[in-house]
Amino acid sequence: MDKHVAAPARMPAAEAGCAPEPAAAVDPWSIVRRGTAPAGFAQDESLFALANGALGVRGGLEEDPSPSQGSFLAAAWERTPIEYHERFPGFASHTDTRIPVADATRIELRLGDAPLRLAEGEWLDFERRLDLREGCYRRRLRWRSPDGATLEIRAERIVSLDDPGLLAIRYEVHSVDYAGPVTLESSIDTARDAAEQGADPRIGVRVDGGFSTQDAAADERLAWLRQQTARSGIRVVCAQRHRHAPSLAPRYAGRSTHGVLQAYDGTLAPGRSLVLEKFVAYAWSRPHGEEPDAALLDRAARSLGRAAAAGYDALLDGQRRALAPLWEHADLAIDGDPAAEQALRFNLFHVFQSCSRDGHGSAAAKGLTGEGYEGHYFWDAEVFMLPALVNVAPALARNMLEYRYRTLDRARAHAREMNHGRGALYAWRTIGGDECSAYFPSGSAQYHINAAVAWAIRLYVDASGDHAFLRDRGAEMLFETARIWLDVGHFSPRRGGAFCIHAVTGPDEYSALVDNNHYTNRMAQRHLRDAAAVADWMAQAEPAAYAALAARLDLHPREIDDWRRAADAMHLPVDGALGIFPQDDGFLDKPRLPAHAGGEGKRPLLLRLHPLTLYRYQVCKQADTLLALMLAGESVDRAGKRRNFDYYEGVTVHDSTLSASTFSVMAAEVGLDDKAWRYFLDTLRVDLDDLHGNAAHGVHMAAMAGSWLALTWGFGGLRVVGGLPSLDPRLPAAWRGYRFGLRWRDARLRVQVDARGVRYELAAGDGLAFLHGGRPQRLRAGQALELPHGGREAAVYRLPRPIRAVIFDLDGVIADTAVVHHAAWRRLAVQLGVPFDEAVGERMKGVDRRGSLEILLERAPRAYSEAEKEELAARKNDYYREQIQRFGPGDLLPGAREAIEAVRRAGLKTGLASASRNAPLLLERLGIAGLFDHVVDANRIARSKPDPEIFLAAASGLGVAPEECLGVEDAAAGIAALRAAGMTAVGVGRAPALADADVLLPSVAAFDIGSFIAV
């Protein structure tokens, strides 16, 4: 039996398997595993892998490494031609695959002349431990040989965060009862090859070429070898040297079968130890680089000289200092759940250590922990990993974007391959910048990667204030990538001039080459608006730099106007029957996937069903439309998000580890706390519990980052609104409290949540403006602020005067007729050839029919007479009435009837103030007409909101003074009208436009009259 896979001959039953530490013993600062079954070693090697963005080393055993042990350099990859039976223009010509470099973790033991074979002895005690404060992997094995000699092997290692190519190992052999000679053979080994794909496309592909050893040498002081790839022209030098006490003496040094080694002799006696410190340095060239081999060796030797002079303990101290800012800025604590705290910290550590420090790389899907996905960079670097890092380690976020800038010319070349005459299109999967996806329907067709990069630029600049990056790098990327949307999209006359994007694939790869993927369209809209806004900013703030860039790119004002026009006209339809955003034009027409087709187990559908089978059904690999609402859904109200969540949850199989975090964030936002918690656990423990069955190939960086987003974006309610951080924290039922940190420009905010509410404290910086629950807040140095949160504890609002009546708005508060209004106005806009988008729809909220018509006609191609306007308003009303005739009590928003009835039970009067002339009809259809003491609609007033007339008329009809009224509104115009009337204004929703409300609630279901009348 192969020594690497044989189970230990004698092993305590309790040690079988790969078991984590018991819950009662959880240390939130370390990960501990004690399993000794070799079947679990590959997963453990991923979990205990160490990296620094340039070098990654899997967490194996020095004296007996498994076949899956490996070391990787972010800059070391091979180029393999892609073979097609039928090749068409623009198909990817090659793939770049990250391949293992020479592995220098090996230290083989000999007891006398016999090599130590771990599988042939008895494992008495075994433990692996990852110390998250120190970034150190430690492991301990107590082992008894077949001859009865008992040893304890203690080893620890770090991959230096201060030196990109440096690995340091401290290796100790302790004798329990053995007496005799010991030899330590420390080697650099080249026996590993890249993994073969087999039946799982998530692992890797055949590599044509790979590394070959060009030269090697070893003496007592230094051992080294030089490798070179066959096709990419990358050269790597790996060198090692040691520190040891006089109890170890050099024995020999030289070439070995697969590399070089240096051997040391010593003698053990019971109770005595031998310690060897091993230092390994890598130096590498760029592809086909001209740096001389001697220079590479000199670079590695100098790194080794510094490390050996400092010693292992000094390097470990440096590692602890390098990690200290991360943990200070993350500021994480979970009260009552050390396992969750541990997992969150573990996940953040892996994302942090795997990101490039030099801007020549990004963060691969598996980081530097394994060979999954060939080491490729995808969109998840910008959409999941960068958002997790931007508030705790912004320099790493910048490095990700630096990499995209460095590969901008390759993106331009890829755009030409895809028949775009100008602009840039980033590769879907890549290392060197070229497209590496052989299957274009789920590769090159994912144009949304351009929008992901643009979204990340905006987030980074907002959070960091790094406008120099925006000027020197970001603007060019934004402009060049924005150009592609005007090339792949068009203004469709069949859809009233709406801007449509055809034949693309969204995040859901189980639907490919679709028209008007909602995620793509919404993110493209954000991208186009951001690009136009940055052009305006740069022209004003940096006119010389803008003029130079515009000249170099041949960018003209007309093109920027086209970006705005396309964004305003972007096709983002709402299905009239379901009230949701269709994932694409044909998605809702398909049947749902039969239950039997899904099967069971961890194997995703993509490994069991032909792609065409998947494409024929409503089945989502992962969050798609919901992800769009998470990243760019600020104009969509909570009820709309809830409808989309409910629908798409039913058709999503979560075959991607990226999915659970988005569902957790959105479940928290729409008030589904139990589901938010369940999805949080799914993304939290993807790798610790190997939920998808492939952690052995490397850990899942985006899922790990997603757990941090589920905490901060989900439970913490973090978003960016108007360039400011906005929070709306809630407390999961499983926790007594939690805390996290948020870096924003020069400030650091501590967010602490418990059952009483939220405490905001400025931990660093002179001041910070932010939003809480949509309301503006400001903290100065040394200040703290305590506020109610969005959890289960009811807030008590101190009002300036007692209230005698509550006046409700109708649309968006009691019933969601906004979708029907939106559809009616859009139908009219299509007929008139007038652009209509969500921004226009948002402006119409709370505005009467005639005022809304004026907003619609602002961009009309001609002027309309008064008679024509009357006819247009009546036509729109007919469309609207057609739809509301179908309304019934089931169309009330959740909690609406209960809120009104609670007001009546409290002895207060109830009124309705609606800008709709159809309010009486709607109240009858909804079955609540009898719940109101007085109703005022647009038929009874001359001036619409934001004029206070409608609310003053309602107060008069109720027989109360305006200052004795509380009004409930969902629109900015309504809030302004309430304040002008002198009433207390309660905003319902999360829109930034509601910031002027006296109280802001997430929905009418959160309206508790007891909060306003409590003594």
Return the active site residues.
Answer: 509
Q: How far apart are the first and last CA of the chain?
A: 78
Report residue 755 as tokens. 């059952």
In the sheet with 55-57, reading across from the earlier edge strand, the strands are 50-51, 55-57, 71-73
3-state secondary structure 71-109: EEECCCEEEEECCCCCCCCCCCCEEEEECCECECCCEEE
In the sheet with 30-33, reading across from the earlier edge strand, the strands are 30-33, 122-131, 136-144, 150-159, 166-175, 273-284, 235-244, 223-229, 211-218
Nearest one of 977, 967, 968 to 946, comparing CA atoms: 977
The conformation of residue 377, written as its DSSP 8-state character, comes to B
Cβ neighbours, 10 Å, residue 176? 15
Q: Provide the CA 226 distance to its chain's centre, in angstroms.
A: 38
Phi, psi of 481, rounded to the nearest 5 degrees:
-75, -30
In the sheet with 747-754, reading across from the earlier edge strand, the strands are 333-335, 737-744, 747-754, 757-764, 784-787
Distance in angstroms (rounded) separating the CA atoms of residues 518 and 627: 10
Distance in angstroms (rounded) separating the CA atoms of residues 387 and 604: 27
Query: How distant, in Å, are the alpha carbons of 908, 910, 955 from that of 959?
Result: 12, 11, 6
User: Look-up: residue for tokens 């404060």?
Assistant: 133
What DSSP letter does each residue of 704-755 carry, written as one string? Answer: HHHHHHIIIIIIS--EEETTEEEE-----TT-SEEEEEEEETTEEEEEEEET
Helix axes 849-856, 818-832, angle to 10 degrees: 40
- Number of helical H runs and strand E runs in the chain: 30, 36
Distance in angstroms (rounded) separating the CA atoms of residues 235 and 212: 10
Residues whose CB is less than 8 angstroms from the CB of residue 234 and which lie 6 or more positions away in sequence, other chains included = 75, 76, 77, 78, 228, 284, 285, 286, 287, 289
Report residue 590 as tokens. 């398909």
Output the CA angle 105-109-115, nearest 5 degrees: 125
User: Look-up: residue for tokens 């899907």?
Assistant: 365
Distance in angstroms (rounded) separating the CA atoms of residues 6 and 236: 33
What DSSP letter does each residue of 826-856 carry, written as one string? Answer: HHHHHHHT----HHHHHHHTT--HHHHHHHH
Distance in angstroms (rounded) separating the CA atoms of residues 978 and 963: 10
Residues whose CB is less than 8 angstroms from the CB of residue 114 and which lie 6 or more positions away in sequence, other chains included = none
Q: Provide the CA 263 distance to its chain's centre, in angstroms.
A: 46
Helix axes 557-568, 518-541, angle to 10 degrees: 140
Q: Provide the CA 936 distance to its chain's centre, in angstroms.
A: 47
The conformation of residue 687, written as its DSSP 8-state character, comes to T
Q: Is 790 helix (H, G, I), strand (E, B) or coil?
A: coil
Distance in angstroms (rounded) separating the CA atoms of residues 742 and 736: 21
Distance in angstroms (rounded) separating the CA atoms of residues 873 and 186: 84
Single-letter amino acid code for the residue at 428:
W
Q: Are the CB atoms for 227 and 236 separated by under 8 Å?
A: yes
